């Protein structure tokens, strides 16, 4: 990492006293849909053991920041948790978490230039509160795999959790995009943060240009 400054996670740990609690705050406060999560879903998403997750969920529930609710699924009642948007400091805490995400994005943008030619970069999954996403980061272009792996490890250490990333060439991306590939479609439809986009913007412009030419040809014939 180019910067020698302490990570955002470090400061949040000092403020809130627990790495697991910080991860839970990020998960719940970035949950745009507000649907909430089941315990196993939470444990998997933030890469923490269920025991520590349950302990911190109890703490956050006692504070009033999250709510425990019962949800019927396949004929059985399951407990799930969601953020309490009426909590007195909800907006302030969410603003803090959003700012930490901004710092992370800035740091990522500063460092990712060194790993190759990136044509598309999107953050999803744990970065945006999409717990059931199959990846956290989609990278399209030509990259140095070793440099990328090293960079991801550094960010995993800073975040305190695993980052699942997917790399594909621009050619593969365009082909799968054209086919409305299910994996890509899920990423596009869910909450995401697009940091770099040279590919889809260019494709859209080419499509518009093609349409304009077709209209011009029709006009001449008419």
- For the chain, give every domain's residue range: 8-93, 99-211
Question: Helices H, strands E: what count in the chain?
Answer: 9, 7
The 10s digit of each residue's pLDDT in 134-183 is 899 999 999 999 999 999 988 887 776 788 999 999 999 999 988 989 99
Cβ–Cβ under 8 Å, residues 27 and 131: yes
What is the model's pLDDT at position 18? 82
How far, in Å, CA of 139 to CA of 165, rounded?
7
pLDDT for the residue numbered 59: 92
Q: How confident is the model over 111-115, as a mean pLDDT? A: 86
> In the prediction, which pLDDT does 78 show?
87
Lowest mean pLDDT among 24-33, 64-73, 114-123, 196-205: 196-205
- Determine how β-strand 66-73 pairs with β-strand 137-143: unpaired
Q: Which fold has domain 8-93?
A: Arc Repressor Mutant, subunit A (1.10.10)
Tokens of 218: 């029709």
Give the model's pLDDT for residue 208.
43
* Residue 103's pLDDT band (cuts 50, 70, 90): confident
Kindly tell me if the per-residue pLDDT of 13 is higher than 70: no
Q: In this predicted model, which residue has the larger pLDDT, 15 or 43?
A: 43
**Cα torsion for 123, 124, 126, 131, to the nearest 10°?**
-170
Tell whether pTM > 0.75: no
pLDDT at 3: 44
Which residue in the block uniquely carries the two structure tokens 């969410």?
94
Half-sphere exposure of 27 (CA within 13 A, CB side): 30
């Amino acid at each position: 990492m180019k910067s020698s400054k302490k990570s955002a996670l470090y400061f949040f740990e000092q403020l809130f006293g627990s790495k697991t609690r910080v991860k839970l705050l990020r998960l719940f406060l970035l949950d745009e849909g507000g649907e909430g999560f089941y315990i196993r879903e939470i444990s998997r998403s933030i890469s923490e053991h269920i025991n520590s997750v349950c302990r911190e969920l109890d703490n956050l529930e006692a504070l009033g920041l999250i709510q425990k609710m019962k949800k019927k699924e396949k004929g059985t009642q399951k407990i799930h948790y969601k953020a309490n948007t009426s909590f007195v400091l909800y907006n302030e805490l969410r603003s803090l978490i959003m700012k930490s995400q901004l710092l992370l994005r800035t740091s990522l943008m500063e460092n990712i230039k060194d790993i190759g030619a990136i044509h598309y970069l999107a953050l999803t999954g744990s970065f945006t509160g999409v717990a059931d996403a199959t990846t956290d980061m989609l990278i399209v272009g030509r990259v140095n795999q070793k440099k990328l792996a090293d960079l991801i490890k550094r960010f995993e250490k800073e975040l305190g959790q695993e980052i699942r990333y997917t790399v594909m060439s621009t050619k593969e991306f365009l082909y799968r995009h054209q086919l409305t590939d299910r994996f890509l479609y899920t990423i596009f439809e869910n909450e995401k943060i697009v940091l770099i986009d040279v590919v889809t913007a260019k494709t859209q412009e080419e499509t518009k240009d093609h349409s304009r030419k077709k209209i011009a040809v029709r006009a001449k014939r008419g």
